[in-house]
Amino acid sequence: MVSGDNELSLAYEMTGGNNADLTVTVQPFKSDGITPMTNITIQPMYSNGPTASGGVVQYTATYDVSAYQKVRISAKNANASAQTINNFWWQLAPN
């Protein structure tokens, strides 16, 4: 639930060797808080990555979630093989 908060910041790191190995999306839910808005994702206000180096892919971003009550964070491994999630962190900033 993000109701009452303005910003969602997150960081994600997984093993990988290519920038395209990692895709992170933030998807809002309808006002009922149950139904995802499947046709849209929230674009980041600021982002860095995904960037691959040293056998890991890292991504950081900040999203404006002020218009939503609930969002879903999804990360997709686009690498052909299974990868390890090394770190996932998120934080909400209030009004």
Structure confidence by residue, pLDDT tens digits, 12-62? 999 998 999 999 999 999 989 899 998 999 999 999 999 999 999 999 999
Q: 89 CB contacts (<8 Å, ≥6 apart)?
A: 10, 11, 12
The answer to whether residues 57 and 75 touch, using CB atoms and an 8 Å cutoff, is no
Single pTM value for the model: 0.90
Handedness of CA 31, 73, 41, 9 (dihedral sign): positive
Residue 95 confidence (pLDDT): 66
Q: How confident is the model at residue 79 (pLDDT cuts 50, 70, 90)?
A: confident
For residue 4, is pLDDT > 90? Answer: no
